[in-house]
Amino acid sequence: MSELFSDLPEAIENTIKIADRCQVEIPMGSSILPDYPVPTGTTARSELRRLCVEGVKTRFFFDYKKQQDWKESEILPSPSNDLTEEMTMRVAKRMEYELSIIEKMGFESYFLITADFINWARKQNIAIGPGRGSAAGSLVGFLTGITDIDPLHYNLIFERFLNPERISMPDIDTDIMDARRDEVIDYVRIKYGADHVAQIITFGTMLARNAIRDIGRVLGFAYQECDYLAKLIPFGSTLKEALESVNDLKDSYNANERNKKLLDLAQRVEGVARHTSVHAAGVVISKEPLTSYLPIQYAVKDDKAVITQYAMNDVDHLGLLKMDFLGLANLNIIQRALEIIEAIHEQKIEIRNMATDDPEAYKLLSRAETTGVFQLESAGMKRYLRELKPTEFEDIISMVALYRPGPMDSIPTFIDSKHGRQTITYLHPILEPILEKTYGIIVTQDQVLQIARDFAGFTYGEADVLRKAVGKKIKKLLDEQREKFIDGAVKNKK
């Protein structure tokens, strides 16, 4: 630069002065949660508790008066209320426990923000999924309307969602009917301010084949030449790997300096960001204007959509509130079906109130008449449904959980055990109540947590660390947890 601008020495010196004056510190690791606008005279804590108390009445049909009175909660008459006193106590204890963890971690506003846009969407007849991922394990989520899944009924564990022994931002993914997803994002943008809300950028990188074609075009190669070399690269392979394993490519590389230059330059640009787009689900909401934390820009294909210039992981590291608004086409279909039913039969049906024990529905599933049914319509799944002949909701839960690489190998055993063709065995009697519904097979992550607690004396928080080690196959963490599990089982005399 000094040679190029030798006639402007002062300008060169000024670049150094400007660089010296730049002091940028990017805070990492803290949680930067926006404040939920609560009514005057209240706090986020009291507002979340109020919503939970209301939720107890609408979800479980009994009055929850105040914390110290929960044992005396009076069950209100209701045709659908068959709760025992033990169950009302269980609801109250779980609610108080979850609220204590949420309050301790300072995540009250997170729950209020999420509940607000989900309940707003439902009031606008925008179809919302009943719940996805670990958030379904939260009773507070169920009471506030974030999910429609009772975690007590399905034995789902709160610590898998929010671990009191490993503080990290909650992660609630929301399924929204694809046709009206933008309406929900617009609602959030209006409520918290356009300068506080943005979608998240993604970077498309230069893959090996594209790198060859782009560099070849710059160097003046004919399209056919580039295309021939590009197609020698196996899908999913890097150029370096292909040069080591594909003889034809290796021969082309060594054939002449022209090819060698092309492939060498292609390796240098491989993996470089090539274009930007908008993340399919991610939305960030900030406490201060977003420009206080990160750079923003307009999306390439939509000059009205503001997006971050930091990708998803970087937004997480900053501690900003990131939420996933997942657009599902299946929810469009379900919503349209409900509208047609209401128009023809003058009967409004809510998915949340539909029975899960309808014999006719299980007959239909047993015949694998599931074309268009979310997660049950593939040819492989249909074959297993015919063999399984499901008779209860837990059968469907297990089949969806097992139908993926790895656990899929257990499906034949699961089916044979259900129909008595294979004897169900348990490695230890303590496992029977945990695995009884899944015929002796570990199907869900919640079962892993229950086994670690009951067998090795882990807390649910400790068990969640074990779950993470198993799920992500982290060898160092697995070795640590193995030793801890064995020691716990010995001390627990199991």
Closest CA to 44 of 93, 114, 131, 122: 114
What is the spatial distance between Cα 62 and Cα 264, in angstroms, rounded to a whole number? 71
Give pTM, 2 decimals. Answer: 0.82
414 belongs to a structural domain: yes
Residue 68: per-residue pLDDT: 45
Based on C-alpha coordinates, what's the Rg of the chain?
28
What is the spatial distance between Cα 170 and Cα 321, in angstroms, rounded to a whole number? 9
Same domain, 348 and 400: no
Residue 78: per-residue pLDDT: 36
Helix, strand, coil tally for the chain in percent (to 5):
55, 10, 35
293 belongs to a structural domain: yes
Domain range for 41: 32-206+272-354
Residue 71: per-residue pLDDT: 42
Same domain, 345 and 444: no
The CATH number of the domain holding residue 225 is 1.10.10.1600
Same domain, 164 and 185: yes
Last residue of a domain, one of 319, 354, 389: 354
What is the spatial distance between Cα 14 and Cα 10, in angstroms, rounded to a whole number? 6
19 belongs to a structural domain: no
17 belongs to a structural domain: no
Residue 75: per-residue pLDDT: 35
Same domain, 72 and 120: yes
Last residue of a domain, one of 338, 354, 370: 354
What is the spatial distance between Cα 108 and Cα 140, in angstroms, rounded to a whole number? 11
424 DSSP assignment: -
Q: Which pair of structure tokens corresponds to residue 24? A: 């940028």
Give me the tens of pLDDT residue by residue for the chain, a chain 494 residues long: 677 777 888 888 899 899 888 887 777 767 788 989 999 999 999 999 999 999 999 998 777 765 444 443 333 333 344 567 778 888 988 999 999 999 999 999 999 999 999 999 999 999 999 999 899 999 999 999 999 999 999 999 999 999 888 777 888 999 999 999 999 999 999 999 999 999 999 998 889 999 999 999 999 999 998 989 999 999 888 999 998 888 888 888 888 888 999 999 999 999 988 888 888 899 999 999 999 899 999 887 776 788 999 999 889 888 898 999 999 999 999 999 999 999 999 988 888 888 889 999 999 999 999 998 989 999 999 999 999 999 999 999 999 999 998 899 999 999 999 999 999 999 899 999 999 999 999 999 999 999 999 999 999 988 988 888 888 888 888 888 888 998 888 887 75
Strand partners, 32: 320
402-423 per-residue burial string, b: 16 or more CB within 10 A, e: under 16:
bbeeeeeebbebbbebbeeeee
478 belongs to a structural domain: yes
